[in-house]
Every structure is written in C-alpha cells, then in structure tokens.
Amino acid sequence: MNPAQQRRILVTSALPYANGPIHLGHLVEYIQTDIWVRFQRMRGHEVYYVCADDAHGTPIMLRADAEGISPQALIERVGVEHQRDFASFGVSFDNYYTTHCEENRVLSEYIYSQVRDKGHTRTGKVAQAYDAVKGMFLPDRYVKGTCPICKTPDQYGDACENCSGTYAPTDLIDPLSVVSGTPPEIRESTNIFVKLGDFEPMLRAWVRDGGGARVQPAIANKLDEWFKAGLQDWDISRDEPYFGFAIPDAPGKYFYVWVDAPIGYMASFRNLCDRTAGLEFDDFWAVSSTAEVYHFIGKDIAYFHTLFWPALLHGAGFRMPTAVNCHGFLTVDGTKMSKSRGTFIMAATYKEYLEPEYLRYYFAYKLGNGIDDLDLNLDDFAARVNSDLVGKLVNIAARCDRFISRAFDGRLADSLPQPELYQAFVDAGEEIAALYEGREFAKVCRRVMQLADRANQYIDEHKPWVMAKDAEQAAQVQPVCTLGLNLFRVLMVYLKPVLPALAERVEQFFASGALIWNSAHTPLLGCRINRFERLLNRIDKKAVAAMVQASKEPEQPAPAAAEPVADEPVAAELGTAEPAPQWEPLQPTIGYDTFAKVDLRVAQVMAAHRVEGADKLLSLKLDLGFEERTVLAGIKSAYDPATLSGRKVVVVANLAARKMRFGTSEGMVLAAGPGEADIWLLDIDDGAVPGLRIR
Ligand SMILES: [Zn+2]
C-alpha cells in the first residue's frame, strides 16, 4: 500500500466487567468491532485493537467477598475466562489487559491532576446512600427504586433503563439497598466533582467538527437533549471501602470506576506500546495525532463515552476520539435474554454446541450502523446460516472442486472462460469495502449472497457434471470449474472479516497464502490446489435446542459435546461409462381421474444426509410448505448430499408412508434414470414455491 494512503487506527470495544462470564449479548459488540478491525487490516492499514477487563468497583469487591477470595484473585480468574471466550469467537485483540494495572493508575492520576490543576474540579458535600447494616456507602447500582423522571419502578440509582435519564441514587423514589435489602440511610460525605459544564462548548464543537461522523444521528439527538438539559457536575470520588485507585490528594477517597475504566483503553495501549518496538503512545494520543481512534460501545453507555470521556481527554491535554460507534442490545427470539427460557446463553455454552462462525455471520447479517436492537431468532439463525453459508457459499466450492481434484489432478485451468464475469465480482469489491467502512455489515452479507447466487447460476448453466460425461465437452469442465472456484475465492475475500476461521480453511484449500483485500484482483490460474476438505457443516436444529436446554440449567455439570451436526460431502464418482438407454415399455393407459389421485407437490430440500449403514439411501428433510417431511431416496450413488440443500424437488405427497429398514419414508422424490450415477432428480423452474401442487 502507498504509505500516504495507509491509515493508523486504534480501535477499542467497551471493557467487560470482571465479575461474570461473557454471554451472547456481549458478543454483539466484540464481533461487530472485530469484523471492522479485520476489514481494516485486510485493506493494509496499521490497526491496533485493544481491550481490557474493567476490574474495579464495589460489585467486584462484594463478589470476591461472597466467594471468600481477594478481588485480585477474582479478576485474575475472570480475566482468563474472558480471554478464552473471546479467542474462541475469533475476536482478534492486539492487547487484552486489565484496568487494575500500574499503567492505568499512573494515567488516571495524571489525567485527574491535569483536570484539577486547570480548575475543572470542585469539592462538595453530598448526601449519599449508606447501608448501615453493611457499613458502607452504596454505589449507584446498589440502590434501586423508582425513576424520579419517568416513574418507572425498579431502576438503578445512576440511570434509568426506560428513559435513559441520569440522576443520583438519593433522587430515587422508595430506594432500597441491594446489599442488605434495607432502606439506605442518607449520610453526608465530601466528594470531588468534575465541572462538566466547563467542557460544553468544546464537546459541542467536537461533535460538530466531526461532520456527522463522530456519533450516529440518534446519539447526536441525545447529546442535544443532554446539552439542553444542562450538564451536571460529575461526582468522580467514592468512599472506602472501595476496590480501585486511591485519589492522591484525598485520603479515604477512590476514583469512581467510570473514571479509570475508559482510561483503561489508553492503559492497554500503553502496555502494547511498551512491548512493541516502534509503536509510540503519543502518535495516537497527543493532540497533534493524525491517527484515528474509534470506540465501539453499547448505546447504554453513550453518556460516559460522548461526554465524560472526551471531557477528561481534553481537560488533560489529550486528543479526543475520532468517533464513538454505538450499537443496540441483543434480544433472543424477540425478547430480552432470559435464564428461564434458556436464552441467556453464555459464550462458553454456545461454543460447546455450535461453531462460532455461525454466530459471527448471523450477527453480521443483522448489523447495520444504527443503534437498533438486534434479534437472534434461533430458527431464522439456523435457516439463514444453512441457506447462505452452506447452501450458497460453500456449495460453489463443493460443486466445482470434485471435478478439479478427480479429473485434473487438482490443477486449475490456465485461463478463465468468462473473464467478464470474474471482473464483475472484482468490481463489486469497492462497493463492499465502502459498506464495511460504514459498518453496514448486513448490506455486505446481502451483496455477497447476490454474487453467490450468480456464481451458482453460472455453474447451473454449464453443468460440469453433464459435461464430464460428454467426450466433446469434457475439456470444458476444467475452465468452468476453475472460474467457479475463483468466484468462490473472491467471495471468501469479501467475507473473511466476518468468517476468519472459514477463510483460514479456504486459504489452505487454495494453498496460495493469506487472503488480503487485493487477492480478489488476480485469479488463481494454472496452479494446483489442495483437495477439498469439509469447510462448514450445516446447523442441526437439535444442537440449537440442546444449547437452549443447557442454558436453562447452568448449575448442572457441563453436558457432553453435541452430536456431529452434519455429514461430510460425498463426492459422486466420475467417468462411469454411459450405458445405452433401454427404453422401458409404456404402462397401460389411464384416465385423468386416475392421474389426479396422485398428489404431486413442489418441495425444497432443507437438509440431506447419508443414512448410516445404507448403501443407496440419502435421507432428505423436505419443506412441503405446509409441513416438513423426511423422505428416504435411493439417490446416494448420484448425489452428493452437500449439493442438495436448497434445491427444489418433486414429491409424491400422498404416497402412504413406508417403513423401511433404515426408517420411515414419508413420500417419494421423483427422479429419472436407471440407477447408479445415472439418476436425475426432477427440477422445477424458478418461482415455484414449496407446497404447490403439480398437475
Ligand atoms: Zn426513567
């Protein structure tokens, strides 16, 4: 890359709190950030993605207390678990650290003293909630009561989940201590405040100068509301006992966790710089920096990241963020994640049952650049992944590779038969890149799937499996499949930020090095590729159901690993000699009424599996529109089950169910041909939907 075009980018995700495990709700953010980071890396930019555990505050102190261990022991254990979970979902941090570190203490003290020395702090007496039973001042989140603004009950003491209003815990109506369940006393303490109002002109200018790119429109509107309401002074101190950093000039006082948590972004980066030759902290954080700094956060912490955080940075003489990108919350099957419904799913539980790539794709498929909530619909999740990734994307490779590996010794042709089709795929690259840059991942997925449809259509038009059996056309099989595989490779370039593990398997398959964005520009020709291995299995809905079940009973011992979720593709044999057609004699003539008794329907193959122990059968799961059926079909010798999902077939729908040795067949799929490799399933033109009657 031309050095003038190379951007220097620092990216963060919000710091997960170190008192509990990572769940799928967290992963929306880390997967979203990771996709964007991986995209920027593939484009050749200098990118650093840092994060840390948010390790301070009363909840950690109380949790450690309850477990009978020190806060340090708790945060160390949780830190290890967090890093394991992030790694298993392919979240590619350059540094993962903790806010409970020397770098953060030094930076927090420095930033505080700068802000104080410039006159932006004051002290003031505050009436605070005090739990006399526990002997401690109560953090905001340990007092619950009714929101003083919108009157919603059961709200935390710092902010309302309903109206997003912020207030002091003492403002709550009918407050209770969460620690002891008793009404808190009000005690006075002298606290330290940052005069946030001092920064209002600067904050307004920061938002305005970004030309609409600093925050999303919905957040900009929120900021306007907050500005109009007037910025309140921010209480940054907490009384002991507190797990955190002591405030240097205020004995018995600690920095509120929300002071040193965002500073933890800098501390993690500082730690990375100290370990990386040539990487300079000031290049990214000095006011004169030309590097870009992006924070990805949930919309619930926008107040902290768009007001407090830029104010602290500015007050201490650092640069401010390039942008703060907010996302919505995760719902599962249309509602809040719920432990009783088994939809409060931990990352580690998901990983036992399903491949992380599935979730990365589904989240990407649902993520735009707004702050709307994202719904994980578990049925749609399985159907979408199976249809897009297995039925469309991987299918392209499965349909072409077997010919290249069997008949051409793994060698690709020297030229492409339709270079203009390949060029059209390459030309889509900049449009897709612009969508990634703008965090429009759903649109990326849709655009790539349109291209996948086009690639499958090309293969359908040329039918290499037919060409291979025709001596005059057999020579065309290699170039046709070479183009098919190259189209697949371009699509994998475009999806690599979303599907890094699949991309790695594809890279091994093509044996031409790591895919970068510009890999799409040059097709692979005349070289050898490795034999196709299983790239991705279909999602078995049973595995999804088992994961939900396991999430209902978190206290039970970990269940055994899920059953294998799909069959490996079975390549059909090539080159069997064409037998001379033997015309079967016609059956006796029947009247229309007799024909009309046969109820033929359009069906779509949802899944196809080999049947254990059966030489000839494939088990087809069919969608008949009005119901689902399992049909055992003697087509194994001619069809690779991996190529069947998504295709339409014709079914005798009113044939009595037949009990066979390997199970019950609920109908019959129509096909022509004498058997072995010569079996051809009936197809139907595009537009016909499952369930339509055939007359
Ligand atoms: Zn409210």
CA 232–ligand 1 middle distance (angstroms): 17
CA 181–ligand 1 middle distance (angstroms): 22
Residues in the chain: 695
d(CA 480, CA 468): 11
Q: What is the pLDDT of residue 450?
A: 98
CA 133–ligand 1 middle distance (angstroms): 28
CA 81–ligand 1 middle distance (angstroms): 34
- The owner of tokens 């972004």 is 265
End-to-end alpha carbon distance in the chain: 61
CA 242–ligand 1 middle distance (angstroms): 28
d(CA 111, CA 81): 31
- At residue 9, the 3 state secondary structure works out as strand
CA 340–ligand 1 middle distance (angstroms): 26
CA 175–ligand 1 middle distance (angstroms): 14
Confirm if 525 and 479 have CB atoms less than 8 A apart.
no
Q: Which of 270, 263, 371, 255 is nearest to 309 (CA)?
A: 263
d(CA 367, CA 374): 7
CA 632–ligand 1 middle distance (angstroms): 58
Sign of the C-alpha dihedral computed for residues 136, 137, 141 and 144 taken in this order: positive
CA 176–ligand 1 middle distance (angstroms): 17
CA 141–ligand 1 middle distance (angstroms): 15
CA 327–ligand 1 middle distance (angstroms): 21
CA 159–ligand 1 middle distance (angstroms): 8
CA 163–ligand 1 middle distance (angstroms): 4
CA 153–ligand 1 middle distance (angstroms): 8
Secondary element (H or E) of residue 189: strand 185-194
Q: How many CB atoms lie within 10 A of CB 46?
A: 15
CA 148–ligand 1 middle distance (angstroms): 7
CA 9–ligand 1 middle distance (angstroms): 37
Summarised one tens digit per residue, pLDDT across range 639-648 is 888 888 888 9
Q: What is the pLDDT of residue 582?
A: 47
- The owner of tokens 């920027």 is 40
- Orientation angle between helical segments 500-510 and 356-366, nearest 10 degrees: 110
CA 448–ligand 1 middle distance (angstroms): 42
CA 64–ligand 1 middle distance (angstroms): 31
CA 262–ligand 1 middle distance (angstroms): 25
CA 167–ligand 1 middle distance (angstroms): 10
CA 165–ligand 1 middle distance (angstroms): 6
CA 373–ligand 1 middle distance (angstroms): 19
CA 168–ligand 1 middle distance (angstroms): 12
CA 576–ligand 1 middle distance (angstroms): 73
CA 151–ligand 1 middle distance (angstroms): 6
Secondary element (H or E) of residue 234: strand 234-235
d(CA 51, CA 30): 10
Secondary element (H or E) of residue 239: strand 237-239
Q: What single-letter amino acid sits at 491? A: L
CA 337–ligand 1 middle distance (angstroms): 21
Angle at alpha carbon of residue 29, lines to 207 and 168, rounded to 5°: 60
CA 305–ligand 1 middle distance (angstroms): 20
Beta-carbon contacts of 620 under 8 Å, excluding residues fewer than 6 positions away, are 605, 607, 608, 630, 631, 632, 633, 644, 649, 669
CA 546–ligand 1 middle distance (angstroms): 38
CA 260–ligand 1 middle distance (angstroms): 27
Beta-sheet strands, E only, within 577-676: 600-610, 618-623, 628-633, 648-652, 658-660, 663-665, 668-669, 671-675
Confirm if 404 and 412 have CB atoms less than 8 A apart.
yes
CA 261–ligand 1 middle distance (angstroms): 25
CA 184–ligand 1 middle distance (angstroms): 21
CA 253–ligand 1 middle distance (angstroms): 30
Secondary element (H or E) of residue 462: helix 441-462
CA 411–ligand 1 middle distance (angstroms): 66
- Tell me the pTM: 0.78
d(CA 254, CA 235): 11
Q: What is the pLDDT of residue 574?
A: 29
Q: What is the pLDDT of residue 390?
A: 95
Q: What is the pLDDT of residue 419?
A: 97
CA 309–ligand 1 middle distance (angstroms): 23
Q: Which structural domains are found in the chain, ordered by start?
A: 3-110+256-327 (3.40.50.620), 117-200+217-253 (2.170.220.10), 361-538 (1.10.730.10), 592-694 (2.40.50.140)
Q: Which of 27, 18, 21 is nearest to 90 (CA)?
A: 27
Burial of 378 (0-12, 13-18, 19+ CB in 10 A): buried
CA 18–ligand 1 middle distance (angstroms): 27
CA 206–ligand 1 middle distance (angstroms): 28
d(CA 211, CA 193): 31
CA 152–ligand 1 middle distance (angstroms): 6
Angle at alpha carbon of residue 609, lines to 608 and 610, rounded to 5°: 140
Rounded to the nearest angstrom, the gap between the alpha carbon of residue 637 and the centroid of all alpha carbons in its chain is 38
Measure the CA dihedral 396/398/404/405, to 10°: 160
d(CA 359, CA 376): 9
CA 146–ligand 1 middle distance (angstroms): 8
CA 670–ligand 1 middle distance (angstroms): 62
Q: Phi-psi region for residue 180, left (φ > 0), alpha (ψ -120 to 50) or beta?
A: alpha
β-bridge pairing 237-239 and 253-255? antiparallel
Beta-sheet strands, E only, within 2-148: 8-13, 46-53, 95-98, 121-131, 136-137, 143-146
Secondary element (H or E) of residue 534: none
CA 172–ligand 1 middle distance (angstroms): 10
CA 154–ligand 1 middle distance (angstroms): 10
CA 162–ligand 1 middle distance (angstroms): 5
Per-residue H/E/C for 69-98:
CCHHHHHHHHHHHHHHHHHHCCCCCCEEEE
Q: What is the pLDDT of residue 257?
A: 93
Rounded to the nearest angstrom, the gap between the alpha carbon of residue 376 and the centroid of all alpha carbons in its chain is 11
CA 150–ligand 1 middle distance (angstroms): 4
Q: What is the pLDDT of residue 583?
A: 56
d(CA 95, CA 37): 13
Structure tokens at 421: 């089709």
CA 636–ligand 1 middle distance (angstroms): 62
CA 235–ligand 1 middle distance (angstroms): 20
CA 256–ligand 1 middle distance (angstroms): 23
d(CA 170, CA 328): 29
CA 127–ligand 1 middle distance (angstroms): 21
CA 173–ligand 1 middle distance (angstroms): 11
CA 156–ligand 1 middle distance (angstroms): 10
CA 444–ligand 1 middle distance (angstroms): 37
CA 217–ligand 1 middle distance (angstroms): 22
Residue numbers of the chain with a pLDDT score lower than 50: 554-582
d(CA 32, CA 365): 11
**Residues pairing with 670 in the sheet:** none
